[in-house]
Chains A and B, each alone.
Chain A
């Protein structure tokens, strides 16, 4: 049974169809990449999966259970973790406290285990040295890492990464990809929206192309990237 299923999910904002009849299954432990031009509805798709917005039509299933009407906090507890494209740390909390909140409330980690659990994730994401710093003043790379770390602290079985490599230098990107690969290797399923294709394609097993809210194609990354249609629409290259 797939860990996550979208069945004919649609959503409009006024006259604009931002998600148009999207269906796919995500198997446990699978890594799926999503690409598409700006405004293709990629982040909206994440909002539909996390429950931040409700679909006009279609169903969202987790482990075969219909969660279409479940609020975000229930889906977090069911195992969906998310990092935002624009980092949204709780600026009034320290880096460590950001993780504590995620672990205690989202991951259901008991109070006694939470400190070690959180420090372990901070170490893995390279944030150990800034644990006690206020998260509001972190530079971009560390804010991105905090997004990842905080999503990890909710103990997700599916982690949604929204353009987490965007804006990083090549060296920073390599480090981040290594961390994401490690998370994947532990069996966490990943859905990753990314414009940095070499980073994305070094991790994902399947690639989905969104355009004007519609799923244009889904399949093996090299086949998808080789498709003339994708090259024209996404990369703007004449086929």
Chain B
């Protein structure tokens, strides 16, 4: 029974990691850009939700609705004015620029909000739980997981059912040919980064309501996100969800043996998957 409970908690935690990772996966899949500032952008979104909630008195679940378009615009501007300039055949410039961006965001948040821990307060729902007889699950973790599934489902629908999604995939396959089909890759990239930051905002909501956050914790979120993407297989969104679940479950099992092993267990699971499936669990066929 303990094991089932542990695995169930791990599964739900995996939803949070999948939310961290989905935006990263989306951006990497479309433009082969590894955004080293992704974790910090999630934390930035958390502070944005906090600010909106504090100023307007709105519940964080409503504040996120206001924060999402702001983050979309930020992503669009970031891609248009900064990242598009450094994307090219050399992978080093975008890595350096996003690394620099990570430092800038952390220090910007530090000067704007201090190093004090913050938390988004969602009220009574935070402590609510549902009992399924053999396990009791928190409502917030359940919502987190449901949101992760919904986000991955929505992104897949966007990718495979819409004209924009086909443009995403065509640009991802071959930028030069896509231009000859009338697609402007820079615009496609800007929209993709905008969407990635909307997903990051949803991730920030659950990150901020689950535990404390401060300006320094972005890079660790990036690491979980990165591991989830790699475990799942580059470019596969359902794979990213599976990758998040693998890390979440490994952490939960590790923590149940010894609380100090929680973080380490996730990383060990990542290494084991890499050893046996170096291309991840669900690699794309044509990469």
Write the A87-129 contact mask toward B (1 if CB under 8 angstroms, else 0): 0101111000110111011111001000000000000000000
A219 at the interface (CB under 8 A from B): no
**B residues in contact with A108, CB < 8 Å:** 182
| Nearest A residue to B235, CB-CB | A92
* B172, B183, B284: the one within 8 Å of A105 (CB): B183
- Report, as a range, how many residues of chain B touch the other chain: 20 to 34
Q: Which residues of B contact A77 (CB under 8 A)?
A: 182
Scan residues 176-225 of chain B and give those whose CB is less than 8 A from a CB of chain A. 176-184
Across-interface contacts of A136 in B (CB, < 8 A):
285-286
Highest count of chain B CB atoms <10 Å: which of A93, A101, A107, A111: A101
In the complex, which residues 235-287 of chain B have their Cβ closer than 8 Å to any Cβ of chain A?
A: 284-286
The reply to whether the CB of B163 lies closer than 8 angstroms to some CB of chain A is: yes
Decide if B166 touches A93 in the complex (CB within 8 Å).
yes
Q: Which residue in A81, A91, A98, A101 is a CB contact (below 8 Å) of B183?
A: A101
Contacts of B172 in A (CB 8 A): 92
Residue B151 at the A interface, CB < 8 A?
Answer: no
Contact at A52–B176, with CB atoms within 8 Å?
Answer: yes
Given known contacts A100-B163, A101-B166, A101-B167, A90 and B173 CB-to-CB distance under 8 angstroms: yes
B283 to A: closest C-beta gap in Å: 13
Query: Which residue of B is nearest A87, CB measured?
Result: B177
B238 nearest CB across to chain A (Å):
15
Chain B residues with Cβ under 8 A from A188's Cβ?
none
Interface 0/1 of B69-90, CB less than 8 Å to A: 0000000000000000000000
Q: Give A94 to B176 CA distance when docked, in angstroms.
A: 19
In the bound complex, CA of A154 to CA of B163 (Å): 15
Q: Is the CB of A106 within 8 A of B182?
A: yes
> What is the CA–CA distance of A91 and B167 in the complex, to the nearest angstrom?
13
Of the candidates A73, A91, A100, the one whose C-beta lies within 8 Å of that of B184 is A73
Q: A88 near B167 (CB under 8 angstroms)?
A: no
8 A Cβ contacts from A34-86 to B: 50, 52, 71-73, 76-77, 81-82, 84
Contacts of B174 in A (CB 8 A): 88, 90
**Nearest Cβ distance between residue A130 and chain B, in whole angstroms?**
17
Interface membership of B32, Cβ < 8 A: no
Instruction: Specify which chain A residues have a CB less than 8 angstroms from the CB of B180 in the assembled complex.
Output: 50, 52, 72-73, 76, 81-82, 106, 154
CB <8 Å contact, B163 and A111: yes
A154-B182 in contact given A91-B286, A97-B166, A105-B167 (Cβ < 8 Å): yes
**B159 to A, closest residue via Cβ:** A92
Interface membership of B59, Cβ < 8 A: no
Is there an interface contact between B163 and A104, defined as CB atoms closer than 8 Å?
yes
Residues of A bordering B, CB below 8 Å: 50, 52, 71-73, 76-77, 81-82, 84, 88, 90-93, 97-98, 100-102, 104-108, 111, 134, 136, 150, 154
User: Which 5 pairs show the lowest CB-CB distances between chains A and B?
Assistant: A106-B182, A105-B182, A72-B179, A90-B173, A76-B182
